[in-house]
Structure 1
Amino acid sequence: MGIPRCLVEQRREDVNNLTDYPPVLENVVRMAVVDPILFIGGFFLYPFYIRSEPAINLAVEDQDIVIKGKIDTLVLKNQFWAMVIESKKAEFSTEAGRGQILAYMLSNPHPNRPNYGMISTGGGFIFVKFMNRKPPQYALSKTFITINPGNELYDVLRILKRLTQIALEGID
């Protein structure tokens, strides 16, 4: 099944319209851009399910630091985390969500599997791969921008689907 062009193009128009009326807060980014992309990609259908997680507390070893936060969107299959998604205000850089999403990824209940995530400002998207090793390691993708020629939302959707497949290989 191909990616429905009209739905992806509409998301691009939605982003353009939203940015004309700032501020565009995190919840609006999630509702207007991230959630529709998850819908287009079939992430609300079996075998996946979506959660907005309760707040987490993460204590950092050997330091008196406790990170508190809430995962915006979590795509799961059989209790395994397929994708962690953090939405940020449109006025922020995707970089603003990096520390937060890495903290969430540290709290993954299945730390021996690579963990994938996405940070979105509505107009920009970046993907994160996290491995909970000693010390933890992560890698970032390039930033995908919706106003770039060719509508990079298509790339975002393809990558989102592929990373979710990779994250869930061997999970039944």
Structure 2
Amino acid sequence: MVQFIQAQNIGLAYLEERFGLQLAEDEVFFTEWFDNLPEITDLEKQYLDRVKLHFLRLVKRPPLSEETVKLVVLSLLLNLAGFYDKPFYLRGEQSIEISAEDEGEVIRGKIDILVIQEQFWLLVIESKRSSFSLLEAVPQALVYMLANPIEDKHTFGLVMNGSHFIFLNLIKQNIPKYALSDEFTLLKRKSELDQVLSVLKNLSQILS
């Protein structure tokens, strides 16, 4: 009998055991989040300052829902990074299923936002409520990225809770491997939102 498991209940140990997922130790595996990043314009910095201002005002009245996080923070970042333009197509919540060979288990879940180009999954974004730890979202995002049917292309991801951001990179091939970026936050005196936007712009240029 097939057992169905919800993606939000999956941990890294399960993915390592069932799918052979490995953390890439080589820094060269994921340089897209820090190497040769595009510049952020003064106008873009002004927009990002307003995003921080709006988020900090809204977070005073918790809880801040996923939908509000996407509306206030994520929407502008995707727009400025070019993910609303050709050749990208933005889709909302999408259902996925993934199963390990001969395990009799199927993982089910829904991706909050999926950026698609020519039917390939390019950027998976899982937004969590502002009070959630990003470490809780990383395994779930990796489940979605493992569901990508393309074996030989990198899939990039972003987990965020409105104030903190972590980028992911995964490639399946024979042995699925992944890597994480440093964690960025807008809560520092000098917000790191400009770095988040710069990474997103870099990914949009690479993937287009």
Q: TM-score, normalised by structure 1?
A: 0.89
Q: Name the SS of the counterpart of 1:4 in structure 2.
A: helix
Q: Which moved more, 1:135-144 or 1:75-84?
A: 75-84
Aligned to 2:200: 160
How far 1:91 sits from its partner (Å)? 0.3
CA contact (8 A) 2:94 2:112 kept: no
Q: Partner amino acid for 1:60?
A: A
Cα-to-partner distance string for 1:66-119 (whole Å, 9 max, x where unaligned): 211111111222222221111011001111111111011011132210110000
How far 1:35 sits from its partner (Å)? 1.3
Q: How many residues matched?
A: 168
Aligned to 1:89: 129
Choose between structure 1 and 2 for higher RCO, CA contacts under 8 A separated by at least 6 residues: 2
Cα-to-partner distance string for 1:113-171 (whole Å, 9 max, x where unaligned): 01100001000000000011333110000110101132111000100111233334xxx
Cα-to-partner distance string for 1:42-71 (whole Å, 9 max, x where unaligned): 211222221114211111223233211111
Q: Name the SS of the counterpart of 1:150 in structure 2.
A: coil
Within 5 Å, which residues of 2 pair with 1:47-126?
Answer: 47-126=87-166
- Structure 1: gaps spanning 5 or more residues: none
Aligned to 1:131: 171
- Structure 2: gaps spanning 5 or more residues: 1-39
Whose radius of gyration is greater, 1 or 2?
2
Aligned-CA RMSD value: 1.7
Q: TM-score, normalised by structure 2?
A: 0.75
Change beyond 3 A, Cα 1:111–1:14: farther
Aligned to 2:16: none
CA contact (8 A) 2:130 2:162 kept: yes
Identity of matched residues, %: 37
CA contact (8 A) 2:93 2:114 kept: yes
Distance in 1 separating the partners of 2:184 and 2:190: 11
Distance in 2 separating the partners of 1:158 and 1:35: 15
CA contact (8 A) 2:82 2:204 kept: no
Alignment equivalent of 1:146, drawn from 186, 193, 200? 186
